[in-house]
Amino acid sequence: MAQLYGYARVSTREQNEGRQLVAMRDFGIPDGNIFLDKQSGKDFSRPAYRRLLEELKPGDTLVIKSIDRLGRDFDEILEQWRIITKERHTAIVVLDIPLLDTRKKDRDLTGTFVAVLVLQILSYVAQHEKELIHQRQTEGIAAARGRGVEFGRPPKEQPELFDEVRKTWECQEISAMEAARRLSVDRKTFLSWVEK
C-alpha cells in the first residue's frame, strides 16, 4: 500500500521545525512517517534523509515544505529528485510550489517543461542562498576580527609552577608529557606555552 512520507530539515538545533511539521500534519502525514534532520543542507549525508530513502517504495509520496528544505546544492537537489522520482518511482510534492507535484500525470509537454524549469530555478536559488550565507559569515568574521574580537576559547592561564616545570623539562629531566601532567594540562598546551 502506498505511503505518505514527509521530510523536514532545519540547519541548527536552535531552529524551529514546527512550521514544517504543522504543514505536513495538515497534509495528512502521520507523525511516524515524518523524517527530520537538524543539520545543514549543504549535502545529503544526513541520517534521517538516508533512512527516508530506504523507506521509499514505488507509489509512495514524499512531501517537503519547500525545495531548500531538501537541500542547498544545485546539482545534488536535481540528482536526489531524479533518484526519488525515477529510481524509487516515488512522487514528490513541494507544498510551497504546487507546480512541483509529480503526482500530476495529466501534464502536457509544456506543463512538464515548466515544472522542470521551476525545479532548476529553485535549486539554483537554494544554492545561491547557501553561498550568500557563507559570504556573509566570512565578511562578519573578518569585520569582527578587524574590531579586535577574538574567536575560540580563551587561552588557559599558566599555573604558577609553569616556569619551574619548564626549566626542569628544558634540562631534559622530565618529558613533555610529564611536564603537562604536573601542570594538569595536555601535552599540546604545555608545548604551546613553551613556544610563547
Q: Give the CATH H-level superfamily of domain 4-132.
A: Resolvase, N-terminal catalytic domain (3.40.50.1390)
pLDDT score, position 52: 95
* Greater pLDDT, 91 or 110: 91
Domain residue extents for the chain: 4-132, 162-195
Is pLDDT of 80 > 90? no
Q: Is the pLDDT of residue 191 over 80?
A: yes
Nearest Cα residue to 66 out of 41, 44, 32: 41
Beta bridge partners of 62: 5, 92
Q: What is the mean pLDDT of residues 115-142?
A: 76
For residue 89, how far is the Cα from the chain centroid?
A: 26
Residues that are catalytic:
11
CB atoms within 10 A of CB 29: 20
92 and 104 in contact (C-beta within 8 Å)?
no
> How remote is the C-alpha of 187 from its chain's centroid?
33
Q: 127, 73 in Cβ contact below 8 A? A: yes
